[in-house]
Amino acid sequence: MKKLLLSAVLFLLGMTASFAQVSLSTGPDYLNRHWQFSLRGGYDFGLTHNDSYRFLDFNGGPNFGLGIDHYWEWFGLGLDGDYIMNKPEIESGNLRKRFKEIETKYKNVERIFLGIGPSFRLPATILPPFMAELNLRAGMVSISGGESSLIAKGVPAAGDKVLYKAENIDSKTRLAMKAQLRFSYFFNEHVGLNLGGYYMHCFNVPYGDYVYDEQIVKAPRMAQGDNYGKKFGKTDMSSFGVFCGVIFRFNAKKAAP
């Protein structure tokens, strides 16, 4: 995965260098509005779930995205698409301590987000070499994966025994919102590099997990209390991430007199 991210960054830098031969122009031939297209890749720091899963965390992973914006001076409208992957990890010394051999199985969590919303930029002048943006997006997110299990191997009189299991997430249409800060430097009228960070919040995501009573070997028993048994419901999930990428802009020209 690190090699993939490095290859993507080198590809973006190569594209930028190939276009960076045109000198920057801020003459009066342009209107103060433009289209903007961006490609990006980076790292998501982990998906939080408000402790809804009792022994499961979703760690960091790569993110990739694209964006389209149209600006009128300082204000614009934009469309974003994002792909984010997070890696599950079971954290439970209590479930592990009674057994010598433990096997874990994981399925990565994948999010695909599509959102639309307003964008704001500074400065609001024509073709600035430096630009800071705030992008606000609301839309839908598809979340899948996350199925995980902790299995004790070779339990006497029982064989393999499942100690903990998290259900697969299969939520294709959930409301989500994203806030993003982006800083760009343009080498010429059309091409630049950017970096930034985002926060994404996903609403009412279904979840479920099982914790089996490890005192019972032959048959799992659903015990009373918060630490054992079934747990199902819906929860909000959110994450922070950073990115860098390449950005292209195309300004509207003034009509000839």
DSSP conformation letters of 227-245: TSEEEEEEEEEEEEEEEEE
Q: Higher pLDDT residue, 108 or 54?
A: 108
Give pLDDT, residue 197: 98
For the chain, the straight-line distance linking the first and the last C-alpha, in angstroms and rounded, comes to 54
pLDDT band at 223 (very low <50, low <70, confident <90, very high): very low
Residues of the chain with pLDDT > 90, as a percent, come to 57
Measuring CA to CA, which residue among 87, 39, 46 is closest to residue 66? 39
As a whole-number percent, the residues of the chain with pLDDT over 70 amount to 77
Mean pLDDT, to the nearest integer, of 34-58?
Answer: 94
Distance, in Å, from the CA atom of 172 to the CA atom of 2, rounded to the nearest integer, reads: 28
At residue 7, the pLDDT reads 55
| H-assigned helices in the chain | 2-19, 93-96
Map out the domains of the chain as residue ranges: 2-253
Q: What is the pLDDT of residues 152-209, one digit of tens each?
A: 876 665 667 788 899 999 888 899 999 999 999 999 989 999 999 999 999 999 999 9
**Distance separating alpha carbons of residues 138 and 79, to the nearest angstrom:** 9
* pTM score of the predicted model: 0.81
- Flag whether pLDDT at 6 surpasses 80: no
**Residue 188 has what pLDDT?**
92
Q: Tokens 């997070």 sit at which residue?
A: 86
Does residue 4 have a pLDDT over 70?
A: no
3-state secondary structure at position 249: strand
Residues 6+ apart with CB under 8 A from 230: 208, 209, 210, 222
Place of tokens 């592990």: 96
pLDDT at residue 256 tops 60: no
Question: Would the pLDDT of 220 be above 60?
Answer: no
Annotation: CATH topology of 2-253? Porin (2.40.160)
Rounded to 5°, angle at Cα 65 from 191 and 182: 55
Tokens at residue 212, please? 């089996």
Provide the residue count of the chain: 257
